[in-house]
Chains A and B, each alone.
Chain A
């Protein structure tokens, strides 16, 4: 059977009660959740000039999970670190220049890295490619008692997506490494500020 669905063909529409209830039966536009709905910046406080940005974590540019992240060729062809990409006008608002160190924080954790300021990134959004390891060039965070700052997932948290828990329907049958609930920990909201002092 080419595809383990009810019909044996690829499905674009999912005629499943659970999916219909969650509005996931057809891929359609859904508005971006607000910071209050993410609820990841309730306790954190703005210290100094700060931006609230939507934080996205795309797959690593060259590494595969934590492997090859420290590849010398690729760190050289990048900026020697997994930087935070942000919009140029946003950066100007809080006087961040290209390659400045920034402190990115919310209730879940903190990232300290360098900023890449680019017109390519829309306003209100910042991006950090996957950077699970802290072994290369990660300074400490003054906002978190000068402890070592984290990786890209320090700012996100796992949210189980309920429709991934439904089963007993064609391809939606639990099997190890095949189908089961995953954490939708790819994006959230963060505070971004210029790092006042670089400490290792």
Chain B
């Protein structure tokens, strides 16, 4: 056992209202500079939709993440030999058209326009070239199903949906959409780190935050192609790549990252999880249907005395172990199993988990009549307005059982609380639902509290970051040269 600690995250999609406050907070803080105009380290997408950059989930096009070849994990986008051939032209690199050309407006014209019979208007100009542009794309272009025939209907997650389910998603009385906020997942098996030919990317030992060393980065952009979530960005002004830093300067001073702190819907949870780094390669190589469970198995129980002893031995500070015991993320991911990793089939082991969203309640129709009371109290999960298959493609590598489990439990908790506070549902019925959803009344209370009544300190359990100890680890820079974090990709052995 090689115990490591990771600052992990949960986004509760049932609570997201799509206000973009997180995106604005991040943009104002980090990417309001020349060369970073097009970057959105945090963005919010409408699902179904193609997102930002457009169709980022289509790995047939972008070749992000890992694949298993002859039982060995390999990057899809590059390898030692491929790097040489693609060094000046990487065919799986997104271009500016895949993102958008950032624009502003020619505001000076409003002051300088010659006198005329009409009022002047400020036309859009490119923030890259300064020339007049036509706005053809943006970071939230498919907002609220805008352009649905072009974007929503081409969402890569529609794979495997029946024709009826697809038709439902563009019928005005039946369609539904939800918001999908995204930041860097600070993966356990980061393909960006593995792809870097300069050894500039690394995963911080003490908290698992994935960072780019701006002094070492040579701008090869292999990471941009290798990240399947397209959360690596190239700064065309400095010639270096940049990414979400999980606001580590804020974390180190005990504050939640800006996107977490500003979240209006309070959908974001942050806490430490302990995991076994020695098993990452083995778990990331398993067949797709086993990956969700495999990742969960990497997460260790912080209350287990054996784990605590091993953690202490591996240099994890007592205060971090204590934070892991209070972690809301651990509850959502490992205990309740209602938070799921996005696109686990990319095999990067993302450490940002999502609670899948509930759909609007639908009536139970049997033999042509609507039944308000029925024995099957979970019918609207299987016949969900967001087809289960769609959510499964997002959060279960196409396998529905994980999403179904999470949604059943969420619905059972709602009915249980309704029985307790409103009383129009029989408590016996609610308890039966809890049993069918693998949930105890105590667990239902806990889920309810952390979902609905959670305070700031319950949502964000930030340990002291102990930079003083981390800096000690970095005393010999050569020791880490060409190392790829502490995953299984090892650097060359040198010297004696």
Binding site for B on A (CB under 8 A): 70, 72-73, 75-81, 83, 85, 87-88, 98-99, 116-123, 134-140, 147-148, 200
Contacts and interface: CB of A to CB of B under 8 A. Distances in A.
Contacts of B122: 135-137
B102 A76 contact: yes
A117 B20 CA distance: 22
A75 B135 CA distance: 11
A112 B23 CA distance: 30
The 6 A-B residue pairs with the shortest CB-CB distance, nearest first, are A98-B147, A119-B170, A80-B135, A148-B118, A120-B145, A116-B146
Interface of B: 20, 23-24, 27-28, 102-105, 110, 117-124, 135-136, 138-141, 143-150, 152, 169-172, 175, 177
9 contacts: A75-B105, A76-B102, A99-B136, A118-B147, A119-B152, A120-B145, A135-B110, A137-B121, A137-B124
A121 B175 CA distance: 11
A48 B355 CA distance: 50
Given A78-B140, A147-B118, A117 B105 contact: no
Nearest to B103: A80
A138 B147 contact: no
A81 B135 contact: yes
Nearest to A97: B150
B105 A137 contact: yes
A4 to B, nearest CB: 33
B140 A119 contact: no
Contacts of A73: 23-24, 27-28
A134 B113 CA distance: 14
A1 B103 CA distance: 53
Contacts of A122: 172
Contacts of B118: 140, 147-148
Nearest to B134: A198
Given A134-B121, A136-B121, 4 more contacts: A73-B27, A85-B146, A119-B145, A134-B119
B149 A98 contact: yes
A110 to B, nearest CB: 13
Contacts of B175: 119-120
B170 A147 contact: no
Nearest to A88: B149
B105 A70 contact: yes
B139 A200 contact: no
B145 A136 contact: no
A147 B120 CA distance: 11
Secondary structure class of chain A's binding surface, majority of residues? loop
Contacts of A76: 102-103, 138-140
Contacts of A137: 105, 121-124
B137 to A, nearest CB: 9
A92 to B, nearest CB: 8
Contacts of A117: 146-150
Contacts of A79: 135, 138, 141, 143, 146
Contact of A148 (B28, B119, B177): B119
A88 B148 contact: yes
A72 B172 contact: no
Contacts of A116: 146-147
Contacts of B121: 134-139, 148, 200
A83 B147 CA distance: 12
Contacts of B177: 120
B447 to A, nearest CB: 31
A77 B110 contact: no
B149 to A, nearest CB: 5
A196 to B, nearest CB: 16
Contacts of B148: 88, 117-120
A63 B431 CA distance: 47
Contacts of B27: 73
Contacts of B119: 134-135, 148
Contact of B147 (A99, A123, A136, A200): A99
A134 B150 CA distance: 29
A75 B121 CA distance: 15
B149 A77 contact: no
B138 A78 contact: yes
A76 B141 CA distance: 9
A119 B135 contact: no
A88 B149 CA distance: 7
B352 to A, nearest CB: 21
B80 to A, nearest CB: 39
B169 to A, nearest CB: 8
Given A80-B103, A134-B119, A200-B121, A121 B139 contact: no
B45 to A, nearest CB: 11
A136 to B, nearest CB: 6
A138 B110 CA distance: 12
Contacts of B147: 98-99, 116-118
Most interface-central of A70, A88, A140 (chain B CB within 10 A):
A88
B120 to A, nearest CB: 8
A75 B146 CA distance: 15
A12 to B, nearest CB: 23
A81 B150 CA distance: 19
B171 A77 contact: no
A116 B143 CA distance: 10
Contacts of B24: 73
Most interface-central of A87, A118, A122 (chain B CB within 10 A):
A118
